[in-house]
Amino acid sequence: MEIKNLTAKYSDEIIRNRREFHRIPESSGREFKTSALIRQKLLAMGLTPQSMAGTGLVAEIAGARAGKTVALRSDMDALPLAEKTGAAYCSQHEGFMHACGHDAHIAMLLGAARMLLDLRQEIRGGVRLIFQPAEENSAGARAMIAEGVLHHVDTIFGLHVWSGLDAGTISVEAGPRMASADFWYIDIRGKGGHGGMPHDGIDALIAGAALVNSLQTVVSREISPLEPGVLSIGEFRAGALPNIIADSAFLSGTSRAFNPLVREQFPAAIKRIAEHTAAAYRAEIKLRYDFGSPAVENDPACSEIAERAARKVMGEQAPVLMEKTMGGEDFADYQQTVPGVFAFLGIRNGETGAYPQHSPFYTLDESVLPHGAAVAVQYALDFQA
């Protein structure tokens, strides 16, 4: 009952904070104003935030009694997108927008901190507030972990506002939730020449075009049809003029899976097919393969605690089932070390929240945010009980 009262108490503040952060979107790893504003708000609560991984922040709320440490995590970066929502509190940083709702995550974690401070007598152990930079480029979680953010942590809870779910619902299912997300880059080297005399050159553009097609067979011919996997080429650059044979070309793409064994199949298969396809056209390639975040996988026991917590603070009907997604999330890096749960909070309410994540029209039903904060608080208390 008390958490419900606190949800109402901090509701306006959470929404106000979300709008404040929405105005100042910043790119991954460069969340300077965002970080300063979070610090200021944590200090005002009487907490002592520590810097980590550049713009990241960590603050500890110690309970009245000894016990387990629960980490609550928010990301804080925005996207290089020009906002088109027309909201009164829209982005003041031209060309940048909180189009993935990380502004809402910050506001919810600050709200959770407020509630936890009021509930300090009930905390057994501690709660670590993690404000992590650079989620969108998968660099932030790893950097925070390398600097020790998970020391003595027993569980971690994270949450994402999700346009695919209706307001008032939340998904906290166990098992694989989001795919591993890796990124790769292929430079193709040919030999430039005149378009009228192609035989004197080596056409990198032709090799690239063949590669775009042949790489599709990694998923269709090499990965078990029973295992989800996806390979997408998002970038192909080649050529300058109609009568010039391109001497180089460039491709970049992403590969995703849930099963780590499938994930490991990709780099070798991409390299082999790219090398041999290019060779068939007398061209050469250089592959750079970057492993991003692994798959988000929710621990069954943590999921159960989160589901009970969601029922308590959002109502019996709140937890819903949601199909896992091939989107990626570096929350998975924390889950490699400590058991945890990543929740998807519904934000769709008619027209509001109808646009997908990363859309320049992205909006959300703000009235759900205090409840998202309350679920995090309830999870922390129930995990320690």
Q: Are strands 296-298 and 175-178 parallel, antiparallel or unpaired?
A: antiparallel
Amino acid in position 194: H
Q: Which of 7/91 has CB closer to Ni ion?
A: 91
Answer for the pair 161, 104: CB distance below 8 angstroms, yes or no: yes
- Residue 78 in contact with Ni ion, rule: CB under 5 A: no
Largest CA distance in the chain: 81
Place of tokens 């829209």: 90
Rounded Cα–Cα distance for residues 224 and 200 (Å): 42
Answer for the pair 236, 275: CB distance below 8 angstroms, yes or no: no
Q: Which of 103/203 has CB closer to Ni ion?
A: 103
The angle subtended at Cα 162 by Cα 159 and Cα 166, nearest 5°, is 120
Q: Tell the smallest beta-carbon distance from residue 56 to Ni ion (Å).
A: 16
Q: Are strands 155-166 and 340-348 parallel, antiparallel or unpaired?
A: parallel
Q: Tell the smallest beta-carbon distance from residue 199 to Ni ion (Å).
A: 50
Q: Tell the smallest beta-carbon distance from residue 295 to Ni ion (Å).
A: 16
Rounded Cα–Cα distance for residues 168 and 377 (Å): 17
Q: Which of 283/364 has CB closer to Ni ion?
A: 364
Q: Tell the smallest beta-carbon distance from residue 100 to Ni ion (Å).
A: 3
Kindly state the number of chain residues that form the binding site for Ni ion, as judged by CB under 5 A. 1
Q: Tell the smallest beta-carbon distance from residue 99 to Ni ion (Å).
A: 9
Helix (H, G, I), strand (E, B) or coil at 205: helix
Q: Which of 100/172 has CB closer to Ni ion?
A: 100
Q: Tell the smallest beta-carbon distance from residue 133 to Ni ion (Å).
A: 13
With CB under 5 A as the contact rule, which of the stretches 93-101, 171-179, 301-309, 314-322 interacts with Ni ion?
93-101
φ/ψ bin of 345: left (φ > 0), alpha (ψ from -120 to 50), beta (otherwise): beta
With CB under 5 A as the contact rule, which of the stretches 21-29, 92-100, 228-236, 275-283 interacts with Ni ion?
92-100
Q: Tell the smallest beta-carbon distance from residue 88 to Ni ion (Å).
A: 23
With CB under 5 A as the contact rule, which of the stretches 97-105, 298-306, 342-350, 361-369 interacts with Ni ion?
97-105
Q: Which of 55/277 has CB closer to Ni ion?
A: 55
Q: Point out the residue whose Cβ comes nearest to Ni ion.
A: 100
Q: Are strands 180-189 and 284-293 parallel, antiparallel or unpaired?
A: antiparallel
x/- track of binding to Ni ion for residues 98-117 (CB under 5 A):
--x-----------------
Rounded Cα–Cα distance for residues 319 and 309 (Å): 10
Q: Tell the smallest beta-carbon distance from residue 290 to Ni ion (Å).
A: 19
**C-alpha 137, offset from chain centre:** 8
Place of tokens 């989800």: 228
Helix (H, G, I), strand (E, B) or coil at 290: strand
Q: Tell the smallest beta-carbon distance from residue 376 to Ni ion (Å).
A: 16
Amino acid in position 72: L
With CB under 5 A as the contact rule, which of the stretches 24-32, 37-45, 54-62, 95-103 interacts with Ni ion?
95-103
Answer for the pair 362, 163: CB distance below 8 angstroms, yes or no: yes
x/- track of binding to Ni ion for residues 129-168 (CB under 5 A):
----------------------------------------
Give me the DSSP letters along 19-65: HHHHTS---TT--HHHHHHHHHHHHHTT---EEETTTEEEEEEE-SE
With CB under 5 A as the contact rule, which of the stretches 94-102, 204-212, 220-228, 293-301 interacts with Ni ion?
94-102
Q: Which of 101/190 has CB closer to Ni ion?
A: 101
Please report, as ranges, the residues that interact with Ni ion according to CB under 5 A. Answer: 100
